[in-house]
Amino acid sequence: MRLPLALLALAALGAAAGRAGREAEEEAAAGRFSTPERHRCSWEVRWAAGASELRVSCRPPAGGGAARSCAYRGEPRRCPAYGGRSRQFWRQILGRLRRRRHPCARGGPLTARLCAAGRAPPEAQLRLLPAPGPSPTAAPSARPSARPYCAQRWHSLCSFFVGFWEG
């Protein structure tokens, strides 16, 4: 009776070690691709705290401008199909990214057919992160605010006329 119990414990340890090896394998992945506009791009996937971040860096063809970098983040592990078919998930994501004319331009989230709408929660999609730097709302306004001229109660009407007057 001890031998079957020892074999069961050994099998459980082997499965746990295999799972840990696969998780360590998923810590980082990288590669390259080209877009239809002939941008040469490199990508890297990193995992941290259950979320995945896909970093993309693209160089335009010679004389085409500056290089661009961006990042997408999501939680693909929330997709039920991701567990056993993660390689297929990433192939589908990179295929979608490869077909975009400008991978770092704003667009919809990156989704794999494996985890399409209805099959997984929205958190499983990879969404473009805002670019680091000053936010557009923090930029100083060229036109003065109408707030000093208007009381709170009449602000919308007053700001319309002040904006009209100031051009």
Tokens 């078919």, located at residue: 85
Per-residue model confidence as pLDDT tens digits over 122-133: 888 999 998 775
Report whether 35 contacts 101 (CB < 8 A).
yes
The pair of three-digit structure tokens given for residue 34, joined into one six-digit string? 């080209």
Residue of 29, 56, 51 lying closest to 41 (CA atoms): 56
- Rounded Cα gap, residues 37 and 54, in angstroms: 21
Per-residue model confidence as pLDDT tens digits over 75-121: 999 999 888 888 999 999 999 999 988 888 888 898 899 888 788 89
